[in-house]
């Protein structure tokens, strides 16, 4: 089984092209260096966006092809996100924790970060949130309406509360199997409202 291979990202998930109505973030962020890790697991594709409003000065992309990471003596690049970028990311995160690749890409374009970075940020954010929840929920003192408590509500509909910030999630700290519903409601990130909901039923083959 091949575990990972490089990925060519050809994938297109649900193309949010729909209407991305994104709020046009026109930030003037400042720095955003991307680096590319071309390691296996991820793909990186650097979309070249060298001119994004967020400023992209990419330091130098490590040569990519060759695993830049394993290079001893090579520093790993660490993207320094601007406040603005973080703000946007957090805002989005409160809405949905697991954007699709495509959404990551769009969002990345909006704020001037490579898709990969956005993706990683979300991953880390999810991890962080989870860890946090577990911590507070653990110790004996769970009694109470614990903040994170096992909220019976459904993750589907209970999106995080807007103001909630990261912890807005209902998901119980414990990943109960049953819950694997993973809250990820993937939806179009930037709330693209475009096409109404139309699940066009399949026509029984137009014969």
Interaction site with DNA (CB under 7 A): 1-12, 34-35, 37, 39-43, 59, 61-62, 67-70, 74-81, 86, 97-101, 117, 119-128, 130, 171-176, 179, 182, 184
Alpha helices for 62-100 (secondary structure H) = 83-95
Binding of residue 16 to a copy of itself (CB under 8 A): yes
Torsion of CA 162, 131, 126, 35, to 10 degrees: 120
- Nearest-approach distance from CB 66 to DNA, in angstroms: 10
In sequence order, the 6+-apart residues with CB closer than 8 A to the CB of 194 are: 18, 19, 20, 21
Among 12, 71, 131, 135, binds a copy of itself (CB under 8 A): 12
Closest Cα to residue 38, out of 14, 4, 73, 2? 4
Contact (Cβ atoms closer than 8 angstroms) between residue 118 and residue 108: yes
For residues 43 and 6, the answer to whether their CB atoms sit within 8 Å is yes
Q: Which is nearer to DNA, 37 or 52 (CB)?
A: 37
Q: Which listed option, a copy of itself, DNA, none, makes contact with residue 181 (CB within 5 to 8 Å by class)?
A: a copy of itself
Under rule CB under 8 A, residue 143 binds a copy of itself? no
Q: Which of residues 33-92 bind a copy of itself (CB under 8 A)?
A: 35, 37-51, 53, 55, 57, 59, 64-65, 75, 77-78, 80, 82-84, 87-89, 91-92
- Residue 149 has what DSSP assignment? S
- Residue placing its CB nearer to DNA in the complex, 7 or 24: 7
């Amino acid at each position: 089984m091949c575990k990972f291979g490089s990925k060519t990202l050809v994938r297109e998930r649900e193309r949010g092209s729909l209407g991305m109505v994104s709020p046009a973030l026109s930030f003037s962020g400042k720095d955003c260096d991307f680096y590319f890790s071309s390691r296996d697991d991820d793909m990186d594709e650097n979309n070249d966006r060298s001119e994004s409003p967020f400023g992209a000065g990419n330091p130098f992309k490590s040569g990519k092809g060759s695993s830049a990471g394993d290079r001893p003596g090579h520093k790993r690049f660490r993207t320094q996100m601007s406040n603005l970028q973080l703000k946007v990311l957090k805002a989005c995160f409160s809405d949905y924790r697991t954007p699709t690749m495509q959404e990551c890409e769009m969002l990345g374009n909006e704020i001037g970060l490579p898709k990969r970075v956005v993706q990683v940020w979300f991953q880390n954010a999810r991890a962080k949130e989870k860890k946090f929840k577990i911590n507070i929920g653990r110790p004996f003192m769970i009694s109470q309406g614990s903040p994170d408590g096992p909220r019976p509500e459904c993750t589907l509909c209970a999106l995080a509360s807007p103001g909630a910030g990261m912890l807005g999630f209902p998901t119980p700290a414990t990943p109960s199997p049953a819950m694997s519903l993973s809250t990820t409601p993937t939806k179009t990130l930037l709330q693209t409202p475009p096409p109404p909901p139309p699940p066009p039923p399949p026509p029984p083959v137009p014969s």
